[in-house]
Amino acid sequence: MKIVLAENQSEITLGQYQKYLKLIARLESGELDTYTFNRRKIVLFTNLMFKDTTNIIQVDFESIINQIDTALNEQAAFKSRFKLGGVEFGFIPNINNVTSEEMMHLDALDSITQGEFIDASNNTNDVENLHKLMAVLFRPITNKDSFGNYEIASYKGTKKYCELMKEIPLSVANGALFFFVNLATELQEVIQKSMKEVQKKEQTQVTTSKSGDGTQPS
């Protein structure tokens, strides 16, 4: 019996990972015992049928589980472009090119529409909606040049490509998710800092105005 086993996250799909997280939830709720959980885990990430997992000798069983865990815990690098279903997708270029200095002005994020940002924010922490988040962050490339620059299709919701996004490599999804979450965190810090600076200036102006009350011109 030859077992096809994923060696890294590029050989695991986002859809498989979503199913795996549901398996974990069933284990934590007590619906599955550890042995049954591991059998279903092997089925999910290999070519085996559930009934075949009882024929795996113990040492191989543990080795397979360890290899799956190694692949799932692998660090994923950010990848801005990939091909799937004959379509080349690109990460939102305007987010990808934002620098810390540009973020200070916030105008650099004006090109991300409110609909895009709300959809992305709402889907970040929901496992079942991770494929929808990917459909927000990645869209078909409509134009590109030899320097690596590209343009993507305008945002029209997630319906058209969200199911297809379940087939993207987990490495792509995790890399994009890590990038997006860190960008959102940095942006929030910048916004809070800017608000404090504005409040400080307003307070200074109020204080200056009050100190000048009743002063007669010389």
- Which residues span the domain enclosing 60? 9-72
Of 20, 45, 72, the residue at which a domain comes to its end is 72
With respect to residue 180, please indicate whether it lies within any of the assigned structural domains: yes
Does 95 share its domain with 187? yes
Does 194 share its domain with 93? yes
Position 121 scores a pLDDT of 63
With respect to residue 133, please indicate whether it lies within any of the assigned structural domains: yes
Does 138 share its domain with 172? yes
Confidence of residue 104 (pLDDT cuts 50, 70, 90): very low
Across 5-14, 106-115, 132-141, 171-180, least confident range: 106-115
Does 88 share its domain with 192? yes
Q: How far apart are the first and last CA of the chain?
A: 100
Q: How far is CA 158 from CA 20, 48, 96, 135, in A?
A: 23, 33, 19, 5
- Model confidence at 213: pLDDT above 90: no
Does 168 share its domain with 94? yes
Number of domains observed in the structure of the chain? 2
Does 41 share its domain with 90? no
> Tokens standing for 164?
């297809």
Does 140 share its domain with 47? no
Does 18 share its domain with 52? yes
Across 60-64, 115-119, 151-155, least confident range: 115-119
Does 55 share its domain with 141? no
With respect to residue 169, please indicate whether it lies within any of the assigned structural domains: yes
Does 64 share its domain with 87? no
pLDDT digit string, tens, across residues 3-61 = 888 889 999 999 999 999 999 999 999 999 999 999 999 999 998 999 999 999 999 99
Of 18, 38, 72, the residue at which a domain comes to its end is 72
With respect to residue 211, please indicate whether it lies within any of the assigned structural domains: no
With respect to residue 113, please indicate whether it lies within any of the assigned structural domains: yes
Does 86 share its domain with 193? yes
With respect to residue 214, please indicate whether it lies within any of the assigned structural domains: no
pTM score of the predicted model: 0.72
Does 86 share its domain with 184? yes
With respect to residue 1, please indicate whether it lies within any of the assigned structural domains: no
CB neighbours of 142 closer than 8 A, spacing ≥ 6?
A: 151, 152, 153
Residue 212 to residue 47: CA distance in whole angstroms: 80
Residue with structure tokens 């962050």?
A: 137
Q: How far is CA 3 from CA 48, 85, 171, in A?
A: 7, 26, 22
Position 69 scores a pLDDT of 94
With respect to residue 183, please indicate whether it lies within any of the assigned structural domains: yes
Position 101 scores a pLDDT of 42
